[in-house]
Structure 1
């Protein structure tokens, strides 16, 4: 019998049995889910906008959803979303990439509280998700598709915004602690409220464990690659005068980890330290029709890869961003957003590289609401790169929400963008390389259908993105070069239902055809089929919310591990189980069993993945 098919079938039967039991479901105890009209997103338009008026494809993950899945890392949250594939070369701390609709990891912009945190010291100027924990974040917003007009360079694939807890008038706090497989321990806490006129948020997370070998233990590895991660966040905001406010904050993280990179056990040590700081001066006036914001943000990164044989390689990257924007709604049917931005990148390493690059930008976006339910957007951006000259990009999108709580929303978008080569690719110790910027054009169209009185949504989206001048590495000449054209197209299915007759359900399926159009070969590490499905049910066994049980199925298709399509990585099927019990108001115990059938598989060739593993914890909210 095919083991993978048998396990997948068993998991589907488990999910289906739970769904069939919904006829006798117990009353739900979670807060009611937001309807599509109620959900407000910021990342897609740079302003607070109802999701029903957003023309781009967007996913929103709330704090309650993060806690329900018992996620520890940002990777776990993102991997459950349509259009997203995550690869990691081993366990926590190891290099990790997020592909949005097949776009390279470095082609997507990552934000923390709206501040760009892509690392100028990274090979492609991307963000390494390998050490990012999720405990301090209240919300994640993902925008799929090219978003270069509003966000500039590095937003070819999409935008991911991690948002920390916000202060409210009444103090509230949460804390959690868990222990599990291979001595993994985690403590996380956050508190927010006001002290006089000042709103404050403070949070922290600590994670440590023995881990498992980055080189696959099924291939003979015996040495575990452990990790130790710490992070802190803080935010303060104050109203200066009527309509004028000031807010600022910081996010700091530091991780030590062991790693392997030679197809065998190795006593290599890694360090990653990030420090993000930001400040915003905001003004609201003219009866809430005028909003202005002046912002400063900075990310300072430090990396050390201490190879046991070759010694340490250290990089230091810094990105400073100053921007201003104003949006004005003279009439209800029209809003104009205009802004300007200056970005400065610096990179250095311990081999003598010390270089910088700046980008000056201006952008504008016009929003029209000509009839009820219809929202149209069109925008332009002008970028002047200190090393690659100027470029103008265009974007347009629209959404039409049919009347009624359960009416569908139609969306379509077109976007352009360009990404300059990273300072690492241009210089490092090999000297200047004559590289051209990567450019992209993307289209998508889809429908989102609410159901269950707004507690559920089902979405279907078609997408197509073409990229020119992809930058790749030639191992024969040890150099970077532009390879021509690539195309990624496919279909995304998404379903999410929260608190319907005691049930939560999710579905995320992506079919992706990502090819190098110059060679006709598939892009490395992209799978054609990727599926995540889950079902959770609440049982009313006490007055505090009772018992909640859930199951999750994750199916990853086969992929090629190299651009020449010679190194094949088979697909895999993983089943996770979870449960929680409310002991009393604000106190909950939880547990999860990951990879319940102990599937042995790889995502990146020769690198390991976790076997069957169990964790248990306690969560307190006040």
Structure 2
């Protein structure tokens, strides 16, 4: 009853009246991730969410989990505090079925169990933007994009030097400092930044169950980018990102003196050409990702994994006429993996892909694409995708219809095949999914309401067999559901965000629900700003109950978390802020026996130049 009351109150408070102001910025942003080319959202047939720097600062988000938990169709599952394993499920897809990018470079880890990404130690202070594509995106992005794509993007250089810095302190001695600067140094555009965070943390073993030992952490991150125009139309850019997190953890249903390390490093270089009045664009790129994980158990000693991925890719897009364009690309990728128990192996995949875009009518955009993958261990596979977006009519309140279909193919990870728990008889995962949505702008374009239905069927989903201590293929799985979203941007000083997801994710052979996927989730936020520089806001996050195991024997109840925040602009360039998370000190778990933070308060200062 408490959850229903809070949910109903939030919806009542957050529903805005119609507006008479001009349309706010950000409701039709330019997105790169969905099509690999800069494209307005109204021309994209897939479901896309864009989190800007303003959104990150307004909500005072600190980690990737903070940002992603606010989106429709996305469920997060952290196993303890910062630094410790955290999974993200997009529309019920496994964590390893989502491709994660930093500045467009894949950072999924071959040393991860499924070749996925651990979000537990990723902060967001160094990023300027996050783009999330929900639904199969494998034709353009490859085999790890069955569930979707998440792209964390750093700021780009500007003509004039700008910079920002932030410092924060709060609950259990958590301190963080971050800063970045960007501008021109002669003909070279530069972006530089970094972040540091350290805190005492809380017990990964649930403190309400008796955990007393705090599991602290320290995180460091740095990024840089340089770009230069070689001749007219021809540019080159190089960049990199590095992060390292040290953390304590528990893994046995009790306090333990375990320590861990997670280090990610990536580098990239691109040569880009744009000509024929921007109708011809080409890119040749190289990317390198190197990861290291150490889990040092106080009893059994350390387990270390190392992963490395090298990619070379080329891409050309050409628009011979205004109503049609074609994108063609090719890439080759080699993965390597080893651990300190003697496991060592590698694999490679070569791919070509193409996408045709047609605009036969005003407001109508159609896309169709094919991809051919040749995996050195599992042979070749061709996948297909198609989507369309139709803006019906003109004006700020013209509705948008979207529909998409996509196929997926994902080979078993090197970890699943070659570690001491591996099983080499695994088959690749395959999927077919579709969705359809309606977006209705309102309030003179400052708001939009979206309803989306999605359905995805997966064969040979890979899971872990606790009885036989190895991996196996689940015959068939299906995830279907409904997403509701509402966003209002700067309507008379108000910002509103609502996101609701209903998810039915099951093993179709056994009928059991897939583990750690809540059946329903809801997020609501309301922020108000005044001309004097004061901003106040609140949010509500409701997570539905979920099973913690594949046999559906361990059920975790739902939860409702309320947060409040405020900020004040002391000057045009200086802002102070503060927030209280989990205001009512709700006790809950999203992974059985693992703790979640109680009531916590933080305060900080931001400076912009």
What is the TM-score of this pair, normalised by structure 2?
Answer: 0.98
Distance 1:480 1:520 in 2: 20
1:122/1:18 CA distance change after superposition, 3 Å: closer
Of 247, 250, 253, 2:243 maps to 253
Of 2, 5, 8, 1:9 maps to 5
Of 193, 197, 204, 2:194 maps to 204
Q: Report how far residue 258 of structure 1 moved.
A: 0.1
Distance 2:474 2:324 in 1: 43
User: For residue 526 of structure 2, what is the aligned residue in structure 1?
Assistant: 535
8 Å CA contact 1:15–1:535 kept in 2: the answer is no
Q: Report how far residue 321 of structure 1 moved.
A: 1.0
Of 431, 453, 465, 2:456 maps to 465
Tell me whether 1:563 sits opposite 2:554 in the alignment. no
User: For residue 323 of structure 2, what is the aligned residue in structure 1?
Assistant: 333
Query: 3-state DSSP class of the match of 1:484?
Result: strand
8 Å CA contact 1:441–1:465 kept in 2: the answer is yes
Distance 1:434 1:14 in 2: 50
Of 372, 378, 398, 2:362 maps to 372
Of 570, 589, 602, 1:615 maps to 602
Q: Report how far residue 86 of structure 1 moved.
A: 0.3
**C-alpha distance after superposition, 1:260-309 (max 9, x if no partner):** 00000000000001101011110001111100000111110000000001
Q: Report how far residue 454 of structure 1 moved.
A: 2.4
User: For residue 187 of structure 1, what is the aligned residue in structure 2?
Assistant: 177
Of 161, 165, 168, 1:171 maps to 161
Of 332, 345, 366, 1:342 maps to 332
Distance 2:23 2:364 in 1: 27
8 Å CA contact 1:15–1:534 kept in 2: the answer is no
**C-alpha distance after superposition, 1:169-212 (max 9, x if no partner):** 01111110000000000101111100010000000011100000
8 Å CA contact 2:47–2:135 kept in 1: the answer is yes
Of 270, 274, 278, 1:288 maps to 278
Distance 2:7 2:501 in 1: 19
Q: Report how far residue 613 of structure 1 moved.
A: 0.6
Tell me whether 1:319 sits opposite 2:335 in the alignment. no
Distance 1:431 1:571 in 2: 34
- Structure 2: 5+ residue runs without aligned partners? none
1:514/1:431 CA distance change after superposition, 3 Å: closer
1:490/1:125 CA distance change after superposition, 3 Å: same
Counterparts of residues 35-184 of structure 1 (less than 5 Å): 36-37=27-28, 39-184=29-174
8 Å CA contact 1:406–1:450 kept in 2: the answer is yes
Distance 1:353 1:143 in 2: 34
Aligned length: 608
Query: 3-state DSSP class of the match of 1:76?
Result: helix
Distance 2:430 2:381 in 1: 10
Of 418, 424, 434, 2:415 maps to 424
Distance 1:103 1:617 in 2: 36
Of 373, 388, 393, 1:383 maps to 373
User: For residue 517 of structure 1, what is the aligned residue in structure 2?
Assistant: 508
Distance 2:415 2:375 in 1: 16
Distance 2:14 2:332 in 1: 53
What is the TM-score of this pair, normalised by structure 1?
Answer: 0.96
Query: 3-state DSSP class of the match of 1:77?
Result: helix
Distance 1:337 1:161 in 2: 20
Distance 1:12 1:410 in 2: 28
User: For residue 492 of structure 1, what is the aligned residue in structure 2?
Assistant: 483
Q: Report how far residue 429 of structure 1 moved.
A: 2.7
Q: Report how far residue 10 of structure 1 moved.
A: 5.2
Q: Report how far residue 123 of structure 1 moved.
A: 0.5
- Structure 1: 5+ residue runs without aligned partners? none
8 Å CA contact 1:36–1:52 kept in 2: the answer is no
1:366/1:262 CA distance change after superposition, 3 Å: same
8 Å CA contact 1:19–1:535 kept in 2: the answer is no
8 Å CA contact 2:14–2:524 kept in 1: the answer is no
**C-alpha distance after superposition, 1:245-267 (max 9, x if no partner):** 00110000000000000000000
User: For residue 239 of structure 1, what is the aligned residue in structure 2?
Assistant: 229
Distance 1:424 1:155 in 2: 18
**C-alpha distance after superposition, 1:132-181 (max 9, x if no partner):** 00000000000000111001111000000000011010111111000000
8 Å CA contact 2:110–2:337 kept in 1: the answer is yes
8 Å CA contact 1:103–1:156 kept in 2: the answer is yes
Of 405, 430, 434, 2:425 maps to 434
Distance 1:549 1:471 in 2: 45
Query: 3-state DSSP class of the match of 2:420?
Result: helix
1:32/1:233 CA distance change after superposition, 3 Å: farther
Of 502, 505, 508, 2:496 maps to 505
8 Å CA contact 2:268–2:288 kept in 1: the answer is yes
Q: Report how far residue 483 of structure 1 moved.
A: 1.4
Distance 2:23 2:241 in 1: 31
User: Once superposed, what is the RMSD of the aligned Cα atoms?
Assistant: 1.6
Distance 2:590 2:421 in 1: 31
Q: Report how far residue 452 of structure 1 moved.
A: 2.5
Query: 3-state DSSP class of the match of 1:80?
Result: coil
Moved more, 448-457 or 293-302: 448-457
8 Å CA contact 1:35–1:455 kept in 2: the answer is no
Q: Report how far residue 539 of structure 1 moved.
A: 2.5
Distance 1:336 1:188 in 2: 41
Query: 3-state DSSP class of the match of 1:584?
Result: coil
